[in-house]
Every structure is written in structure tokens, then in C-alpha cells.
Amino acid sequence: MTTYLTTPQGRHIAYVRTPGKEPGVVFLGGFRSDMTGTKAVHLQSWAEAQGRAFLRFDYSGHGRSHGQFADGAISDWAEDARTVIDTLTEGPQILVGSSMGGWIALLLAQQIPEKLAGLVGIAAAPDFTEIMWAEATPAQRTQLLNEGAIANPSAYSDDPDVITRRLIEDGRQNLVLQSPLHLPFPTRLLQGSADVDVPPHRALALFDHARGPDIRLTLVKDADHRFSTGPCLAMITSAVEDILKGSPDAG
């Protein structure tokens, strides 16, 4: 059942929480995605079968949460994630971040490392707003600076992706690949070789940049950005199970 949580910033966040044993698992969705996606629902079914605590939610401006998407930025969505974790979970959690959710997970790894038992990145997209800026045409950059927004066609929706000047500028305040990135817990990065939105070289850049005692990258031949085929979904749950094997608190 969908429930709502009001954050300290006054945003109303929709979430679905499954009770169970800890460490729990928290799913962090992607840019313009929502908690009803294939990966989130698959993980919930797995958690229910395992008796494992699980939490999925929509960032503000996404899915069933309140607010307008174009009003949000990385800082807002990271605040949403931190609030639901601080308020709705107990003990360390395994974060599973898809695309933008991978960036959010890395920000949380810096902010609240004591709350993390592990991290799984699925086509993780840290610092992707810099790619948006780099790929924008001179005319688009001028429009962003002067009008505050542009609209790009989306590969995943009939509605265009609205990219705002605030999104780009706020993204620059949250970059994780330009300063030391320590991940002191088991980290599993899953990446498709056929991903055109987050190409494999971005996963390799993250893998090379991050530091930690147990970081592994798995490159999957022909998998795309959705990473939602049956074998890919099985790899996601296997990555979570692998982290749980090493957790002293896993039931």
C-alpha cells in the first residue's frame, strides 16, 4: 500500500514499505522513473520471499509523489532519499540505485556511510548533468541560460525530458567523480555493454575512481540501460545476496 511521508522541506513523498529482517534493501530509481518499474517490483517480490525489509519510493516530482518534476534537482532528490531512509528504516541498509539512483546512492554513501551495509549500482550515472551540458548544442546552452529550461526527446516516454538550468547548476554542487570517493562497504556495479545512455566507459570511470575494500564491476554483454530482462533481474538479486553473505547482521 502506498503511504506518504512529509519531508522537513515540506515535500510529500510516496513510498511502499515491506517489513522484514535487517539489513533492509532500499531501491533508488532513475531520472523520471518511478517505484512501479520492473526492477523495483522485482526486488520487492524477492524481499517478500526472503522475509527481508524493503523500501521503494518516488522522489518529489516523480511517480505518485507530489510536486512538479521540472522544479526538482539532484539536491532535492538526495534529500528525499535521505529522509525516507532516516525515517522509515532501522539499521544499515543496502542501497540499490538505478541510473540516477546510483548517483543518489553515492551521495548518501558520503553523507551517511554508517547507514549503509552495501551498495548495488545498476547502470549508475553519477555526474550525468555534466554530460547533458557537454552534449547540448550552443543554441540549447543559450536557451538554458536565458530561458531556464530546454525540452529534449525522451527514449522512455512520449513526453520530453525537461532539463532546467537549476538541474545543471545544482548537479555541479553534487559531483562525485571529481573528488575522493570512499566506499567502505561491499559495492557491486552492474553495467550493460549495449547501454547507450550510460556507456560502459562511464562505469569503468566510476570503478577506477572509487576506493574501497570490496568493489566489483560486472559488464553484461548486450544488456541495455533498462537492465530488466530476466537474467539481468536475477543478477541484481544475486548482487544483493552476495552483499548479505558478508553482513554480520544478516538474518
pLDDT value, residue 150: 94
All domains in the chain, ordered by first residue: 3-126+177-245 (3.40.50.1820)
Catalytic-role residue among 42, 80, 170, 225: 225
- Which residue ranges in the chain fall short of pLDDT 70? 248-251
What whole-number distance in Å separates Cα of residue 81 and Cα of residue 54? 14
What whole-number distance in Å separates Cα of residue 160 and Cα of residue 46? 33
Catalytic-role residue among 58, 127, 170, 195: 195
Return mean pLDDT, the chain: 95
pLDDT value, residue 28: 98
What percent of the chain shows pLDDT beyond 70? 98
The model's pLDDT over 84-115, given as tens digits with 9 standing for 90+, comes to 999 999 999 999 999 999 999 999 999 999 99
Let me know if 99 is a catalytic residue: yes
Catalytic-role residue among 99, 127, 170, 197: 99
pLDDT value, residue 1: 81
pLDDT value, residue 155: 75
pLDDT value, residue 106: 98
Half-sphere exposure (Cβ direction) of 236: Cα atoms closer than 13 Å: 32
pLDDT value, residue 251: 53
Q: Measured between alpha carbons, how far is residue 106 from residues 47, 51, 152, 176, 230 in Å?
A: 23, 26, 26, 7, 26
Let me know if 209 is a catalytic residue: no
Tell me the three cell numbers of residue 171: 548537479
Let me know if 247 is a catalytic residue: no
CA 95 to chain centre: 8
Which of left, alpha, beta for 144 (phi over 0: left; psi -120 to 50: alpha)? alpha
The number of beta carbons lying within 10 Å of the beta carbon of residue 58 is 25
